[in-house]
């Protein structure tokens, strides 16, 4: 909290001349908050000279008292409750929310797209042949509820039997950590196996994996797990390392800064939230499994994952699986609802996207390493499947797209 002299200077920082003064009420205690700050910083470096006021804070902290007297140009905030919403609105300057926990607050919102986050988790499990699914979330958090219901929808007919463990706030407040873990472990023991689980966040994912250990279930063989946030510190200290959907929090920060810039210039606020799709799903050991009882089909999928980008064709897959081409194609359609060729193309496109977004390799090398004959063919396939050129995918940082269409 700033001292009285600092508070006075902040209150008097009226931007009649010089750069605009922008307050950032974004926590530094979570990786998502730090990523948002990075995105804001990128916008300011590229586009504007702003005088930024920010102090380290946690998400649970109340609004700073100095804000009541602050006379700046705009605010970007993670608005976590009604009191903070009222406080930032009373400032009389344009405000952009980057959290979305207060429905009907009347504050323009830039946020991650929870429906698309859930889509990536659902596709991850469907691609691995799962038939049982579960969701572990927080009952009183609207973002967790949105992810749960979107996960259910993306699962299609399997969503009707989705097992759900939604932990209410009163449970988290009144019960000890030991009691909470034991209750979660009992629920995990009762799940049908093998099961693909989406956990609402990486923080809860860490607790979920500990509960799996207590329950004596094998991860990922019996219970496979995917979290959300791709917080590398959390994901790598769990045992096994936690797979996670990678929301583009830095892009949320960038777009929030761009929106605030327009609002401070006198533009009207958008009628709907600006939703930023996730960058992808980072697979780690917690989901590195195929839930396929058919051993020949499992062998085929394994060889595709390992060799799709080396020029592997359908006949070679059939031979490695010990099946005729026609039998292999029929089992793919029955069990996975796609053809062998579609699976080969999906794996190659996924690899191409990884190389475009995570490396600076020139396009000819990307095409070669992803299993495409030449860069022109890769470009044509990307435009046909996702409506994006390789340059657009690289520039946008791998924003998620729909699964390749069936042809």
Which domain CATH number covers 134?
A: 3.40.50.2300
Which domain CATH number covers 343?
A: 1.10.10.60
128 and 207, same domain (yes or no): yes
Q: Kindly report the number of other CB atoms within 10 A of residue 380's CB atom.
A: 13
Residues 299-351: pLDDT tens digits? 898 889 889 999 999 999 999 999 999 999 999 988 778 899 999 998 999 89
List the domain range (segments joined by +) for residue 213.
114-248+281-287
95 and 134, same domain (yes or no): no
255 and 343, same domain (yes or no): no
Strand, helix or coil for residue 195: strand
138 and 232, same domain (yes or no): yes
244 and 147, same domain (yes or no): yes
Share of the chain above pLDDT 70, in %: 93
> How far from chain centre, in Å, is Cα 232?
13
304 and 365, same domain (yes or no): yes
228 and 102, same domain (yes or no): no
Residues 252-291: pLDDT tens digits? 999 999 999 999 999 999 999 999 999 899 999 899 887 7
Asked if the structure places residue 345 within a domain, the reply is yes
Residues 146-170: pLDDT tens digits? 999 999 999 988 888 999 999 987 7
CA–CA gap between residue 160 and residue 396 (Å, rounded) = 35
pTM of model > 0.85: no
Last residue of a domain, one of 226, 261, 287: 287
pLDDT value of position 17: 53
- Taking 50 as the pLDDT cut, the residues of the chain under it are 1-16, 398-407
221 and 270, same domain (yes or no): no
pLDDT value of position 401: 39
pLDDT value of position 18: 64
130 and 237, same domain (yes or no): yes
Strand, helix or coil for residue 262: helix
Asked if the structure places residue 401 within a domain, the reply is no
Asked if the structure places residue 402 within a domain, the reply is no
173 and 257, same domain (yes or no): no
Asked if the structure places residue 406 within a domain, the reply is no
Tell me which DSSP letter residue 310 carries.
G
Asked if the structure places residue 403 within a domain, the reply is no
Structure tokens at 135: 């969701």
Asked if the structure places residue 405 within a domain, the reply is no
43 and 70, same domain (yes or no): yes
Asked if the structure places residue 404 within a domain, the reply is no
Contact of 376 with 364, CB cutoff 8 Å: no
CA–CA gap between residue 294 and residue 123 (Å, rounded) = 20
Contact of 239 with 358, CB cutoff 8 Å: no
261 and 153, same domain (yes or no): no
Q: How many domains does the chain have?
A: 3
Asked if the structure places residue 137 within a domain, the reply is yes
CA–CA gap between residue 111 and residue 273 (Å, rounded) = 7
């Amino acid at each position: 909290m700033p001292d009285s002299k600092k508070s006075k200077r902040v209150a008097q920082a009226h931007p009649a001349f010089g750069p605009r003064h922008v307050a950032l009420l974004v926590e530094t205690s979570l990786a998502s908050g730090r990523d948002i700050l990075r995105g804001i910083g990128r916008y300011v470096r590229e586009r504007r000279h702003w005088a930024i006021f920010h102090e380290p804070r946690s998400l649970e902290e109340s609004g700073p008292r100095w804000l009541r007297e602050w006379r700046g140009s705009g605010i970007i905030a993670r608005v976590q409750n009604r009191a903070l919403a009222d406080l930032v609105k009373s400032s009389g300057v344009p405000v952009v929310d980057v959290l979305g926990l207060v429905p009907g607050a009347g504050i323009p919102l830039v946020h991650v797209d929870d429906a698309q986050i859930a889509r990536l988790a659902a596709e991850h499990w469907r691609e691995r042949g799962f038939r049982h699914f579960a969701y572990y979330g927080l009952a009183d958090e609207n973002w967790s509820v949105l992810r749960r219901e979107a996960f259910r929808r993306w699962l299609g007919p399997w969503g009707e039997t989705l097992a759900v463990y939604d932990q209410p706030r009163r449970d988290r407040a009144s019960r000890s950590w030991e009691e909470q873990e034991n209750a979660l472990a009992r629920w995990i023991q009762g799940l049908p196996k093998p099961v693909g689980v989406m956990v609402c966040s990486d923080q809860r994912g860490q607790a979920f994996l500990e509960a799996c250990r207590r329950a004596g279930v094998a991860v990922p063989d019996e219970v496979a797990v995917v979290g959300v946030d791709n917080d590398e510190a959390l994901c790598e200290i769990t045992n096994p390392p936690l797979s996670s959907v990678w929301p583009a929090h830095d892009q949320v920060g960038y777009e929030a800064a761009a929106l605030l810039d327009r609002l401070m210039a006198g533009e009207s606020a958008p009628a709907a939230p600006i939703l930023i799709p996730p960058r992808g799903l980072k697979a780690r050991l917690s989901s590195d499994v195929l839930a396929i009882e058919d051993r020949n089909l499992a062998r085929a999928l394994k060889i595709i994952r390992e060799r799709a980008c080396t020029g592997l064709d359908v006949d070679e897959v059939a031979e490695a699986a010990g099946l005729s081409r026609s039998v292999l194609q029929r089992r793919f359609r029955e069990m996975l609802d796609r053809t062998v060729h579609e699976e080969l193309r999906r794996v190659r496109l996924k690899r191409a996207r990884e190389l475009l977004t995570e490396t600076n390799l020139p396009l000819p090398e990307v095409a070669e390493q992803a299993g495409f004959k030449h860069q022109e063919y890769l470009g044509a396939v990307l435009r046909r499947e996702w409506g994006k050129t390789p340059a657009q995918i690289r520039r946008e940082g791998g924003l998620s797209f729909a699964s390749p269409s069936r042809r």
